[in-house]
Amino acid sequence: MELVSTSETEAVEHIIRHGKRLRRFNNLLQTLLPSELKAHCQLANIKGNTAVLHVSSTVWATRIRYQIPNIINKLQDDAKGRQITNIEIRVHPGSARVKKEKAVRRASMSKEAALSVQRCAATVDDEKLRSALERLASRKDTN
């Protein structure tokens, strides 16, 4: 008894081949992009002779649009990329490989509170505790 039909097997094999092809093209694309663009752009798909790129923002999409003729010329020089004659750019903010750093919210206190903590630190004998209180006092609000 056959569990998977031949057409299903062929479809899965086609998907695997396409995925490998996309990975190879993405690696090639990354070698062709200027370093500042690499982290903001990746190959999403190849449809016929069109490479579809996902970029992290409209800013990077604009920068890459200026590079399209250069990228296509370089792809044409490579045997793997000869069939690519067009590049389509789509903005997908989640597609970037760049990890956004979380904004660190630094605690602050009023000048009066900082002065109180400094006075407290001056009365403490324990060096580590005094140092910690002095660091805390340095977080006074500068406004």
Q: What is the CATH number of the domain that holds 80?
A: 3.30.300
For the cut 60, the answer to whether the pLDDT of residue 53 exceeds it is yes
Average pLDDT of the segment spanning 97-114: 66
**76 and 139 part of one domain:** no
Does some domain include residue 3?
A: no
pLDDT tens sequence across 18-44: 888 889 888 888 888 888 888 889 889
Average pLDDT of the segment spanning 50-73: 90
**Cβ atoms of 68 and 37 closer than 8 Å:** no
**22 and 85 part of one domain:** yes
For the cut 90, the answer to whether the pLDDT of residue 62 exceeds it is yes
**38 and 107 part of one domain:** no
- Give pLDDT, residue 21: 84
- Give pLDDT, residue 98: 47
Average pLDDT of the segment spanning 47-74: 90
- Domain count of the chain? 2
* Full DSSP string of 73-141: HHHHHSGGGTT--EEEEEE-GGG--PPPPPPP----B-HHHHHHHHHHHHT---HHHHHHHHHHHTTB-
For the cut 90, the answer to whether the pLDDT of residue 88 exceeds it is yes
Query: Could you tell me the residue range of the domain that residue 43 belongs to?
Result: 9-95
What whole-number percentage of the chain has pLDDT above 70? 83
For the cut 90, the answer to whether the pLDDT of residue 89 exceeds it is yes
**138 and 72 part of one domain:** no
**52 and 114 part of one domain:** no
Does some domain include residue 31?
A: yes
Does some domain include residue 142?
A: yes
pTM of the model: 0.58
**120 and 85 part of one domain:** no
